[in-house]
Amino acid sequence: MNRTSHLTMNNQAESPSNTSPVKNTTSPSTLSSSPNQRHHHHHNYSRSPNSVTDFQIIADRANRDYQNGNYERAEQYCLQLYQQEPDNTSLLLLLSSIYFQMRRYDQSMQYSLLATKLDPHLAEAHSNLANAYKEKGFLSLALDHYVKALQLKPDFIDGYINYAAALIANSDMEGAVSAYLRALQYNPNLYGVRNDLGNLLKALGYIEEAKECYLKVIKTQPTFAVAWSNLGCIFNCQGEIWLAIHHFEKAVALDPNFLDGYINLGNVLKEARIFDRAITAYLRALHLSPNHPIVHGNLACAYYEQGLIDLAIETYRRAIQLQPNFPDAYCNLANALKVQGKV
């Protein structure tokens, strides 16, 4: 998940203003952080009162449209303002962020570079530039600019989060762990970041450390269903089946539309040979995602174990229809057909 930074334009140019991080939603987890103070470029000239008011009205509209995802309209407002103030770094950062969200990365880089020329110490501009480099596949350049941003602003939480994602893309998992830990030093309540840290630690084999992360997430945000599910996965790995079931059930109770939660619950119930409840969980998952081949395959297994051979055959065939390259489903279908004497 990349977070682009922009500065909310304010008619009092000498006052730093707050901005909320903007998310590019590519991560399974929701990351939440508090607004951070941003550096603000100082202007050496003044506007008339009327022009200040007009500028601020348009700036407010641009910011509002950007936050609401109306990027084309936000772009139009910003380009109008850019004609008046081409050296307003807040405006340049907002344009950079808009074009990033529109996946127009060259234009995003253009305005980030303009901002760095006006203010070489503007950490957010380097971070935005790094985001664009990362999306264009220039990972080394992206990492360089994330490092520069963090050197300029050591408490730049969004910078650490973006840097961690780039390090993961560069297969530097230990470095990503360090970046997440630095972000959490500045704000320990970032439960989404701590959850992602737990996922990374689990992938690295640090199971107890991952468990500690998920427990802290739940303590910070008890209603965060993803952490309950992740903790359930830890318990399942450790052979604590009943604890795993409890945590998966808690996850789907907190979020009735949590697809992965139902899949995890169905899998652990199937493993525990509680097939009727596993079937219920898989059916709920299919209600949320009707064309999920793996769920159809697992549901068919549960039907088979229940002796519901006709349903198992029908469901295996549906899984194969959805995913023709599904060897397990073919093997299981053949076994079910043998039971019926059709092979």
**Do 184 and 201 contact (CB within 8 A), yes or no?**
no
Q: Which of 116, 132, 148 is the last residue of a domain?
A: 132
Tokens representing 214 are 């998920």
Range of the domain at 306: 291-342
Which of 42-51, 173-182, 312-321 is least confident?
A: 42-51
Query: Does 97 map to a domain?
Result: yes
Query: Does 168 map to a domain?
Result: no
Q: In DSSP terms, which residues pair with 24 in a beta bridge?
A: 2
Q: Which of 115, 132, 149 is the last residue of a domain?
A: 132
Query: Does 35 map to a domain?
Result: no
Query: Does 138 map to a domain?
Result: no
**Do 74 and 66 contact (CB within 8 A), yes or no?**
yes
* Per-residue model confidence (pLDDT) at position 207: 97
Mean pLDDT over 255-275 rounds to: 97
The pLDDT of residue 44 is above 90: no
pLDDT category of residue 55 using cuts at 50, 70 and 90:
confident
Q: Which of 132, 161, 190 is the last residue of a domain?
A: 132
> What CATH code is carried by the domain that includes residue 101?
1.25.40.10
Please tell me the total count of domains within the chain: 2
Mean pLDDT over 158-180 rounds to: 97
Instruction: List Cα–Cα distances, 198 to 151, 188, 206, in angstroms.
Output: 26, 14, 9
Query: Does 297 map to a domain?
Result: yes
* Average pLDDT taken over every residue of the chain: 87
**pLDDT tens digits along 224-252:** 999 999 999 999 999 999 999 999 999 99
Query: Does 246 map to a domain?
Result: no
Query: Does 113 map to a domain?
Result: yes
Query: Does 264 map to a domain?
Result: no
pLDDT category of residue 341 using cuts at 50, 70 and 90:
confident
Q: How many other CB atoms are found less than 10 A from the CB of residue 137?
A: 9
**Do 190 and 33 contact (CB within 8 A), yes or no?**
yes
Tokens representing 219 are 């303590």
> Which amino acid does the sequence have at 144?
D
pLDDT category of residue 53 using cuts at 50, 70 and 90:
confident
The pLDDT of residue 303 is above 50: yes
